[in-house]
Amino acid sequence: MEWENQTILVEFFLKGLSGYPRLELLFFALILIMYVVILLGNGTLILISIWDPHLHTPMYFFLGNLSFLDICYTTTSIPSTLVSFLSERKTISFSGCAIQMFLGLAMGTTECVLLGTMAFDRYVAICNPLRYPVIMSKDSYVPMAAGSWIIGVINSAVQTAFVVQLPFCGNNVINHFSCEILAIMKLACADISGNEFIMLVATTLFILTPLLLIIISYTLIIVSILKIRSSEGRSKVFSTCSAHLTVVIIFYGTILFMYMKPKSKDTLNSEDLDATDKLISLFYGVITPMINPLIYSLRNKDVKEAVKHLLRRNVFNK
């Protein structure tokens, strides 16, 4: 299609679950409940990591950042998704879609890098405990966390800038719950091989590289744990990193399946494939942030004690 025959889109239509009003009401109730749990669970972790002196360590500093990140990530998409479930008008402006895409990609990239730094923190704590206070000093872990946010913003800014410059023709239907970058790129009426290359480079640098760091860190951790003769000692050491390992498996399992599974030309526009993508995105974007604080609180005695202390202090203050 020639450029002069193209139309300038001013808004997109988010298809989501259009055509299934009963299913939309069900998903509205479920996602609303999950969003409340996300805010309460992650908000509690942020509060205890700030107020409890025993949790003023690199691990809980990273955990507080992860909780804040999950709140920000879900807030960029869930409220608008809930509104669309109840509204007949399911459109979003082009600029609003670009902002949502930028924020979602920035938060996702930041979380990948942050999980990598958390794995390195666990490696140093278990494999080099005597050097831990020196290696993971405040002058080290604060810049690590800040660097994760900066990398996320830069990566998202670059990819979003290239996507919004693509020409879009008459098709403005996004077969998704939100403005997800792959769903937007499918609507472009131009060659997107350049965008795909940029995404491949970004995926390698900011998703696979942290994943490689996580794999190496936990390989060394497991080797170190196996050298411990006492079964009680092995169990105690493993419990300190099992929560983070569980979060990593859930997070990377869903994101790698969603972004790196092969897509043939014959199935790229398949409704079944799109439905699968949307359900995986829902799991990645809602359920994972919801269960993160549950995993850390159920598998961590320090967190549970801090929560109990916070609740007791609130009760006595009343």
Mean per-residue pLDDT pooled into runs of 10, the chain (318 residues): 49 76 82 94 90 88 93 89 81 89 92 94 93 94 96 95 87 80 85 90 90 93 87 78 84 71 46 56 79 78 74 61
* Distance from the first to the final alpha carbon of the chain: 68
Buried-exposed string 79-107: b where 16+ CB fall within 10 A, e elsewhere: ebbbebbeeeebebebeebbebbbbbbbb
For 74, counting Cβ atoms within 10 Å of its Cβ (0-12 exposed, 13-18 middle, 19+ buried), the class is: buried
User: Whole-angstrom Cα distance, residue 28 to residue 18?
Assistant: 13
- What is the model's pTM? 0.86
CA distance 161 to 309: 47
Q: For position 105, what pLDDT does the model report?
A: 92
Which pLDDT score, from 0 to 100, does residue 216 have? 95
pLDDT of residue 64: 92
Could you tell me what percentage of the chain is helix, strand and coil, using 3-state DSSP and rounding each to the nearest 5? 75, 5, 20
Residue 77: its pLDDT value, please?
Answer: 84
Within 8 A by CB and 6+ apart from 108, the residues are: 73, 152, 255
Give the pLDDT of residue 303.
77
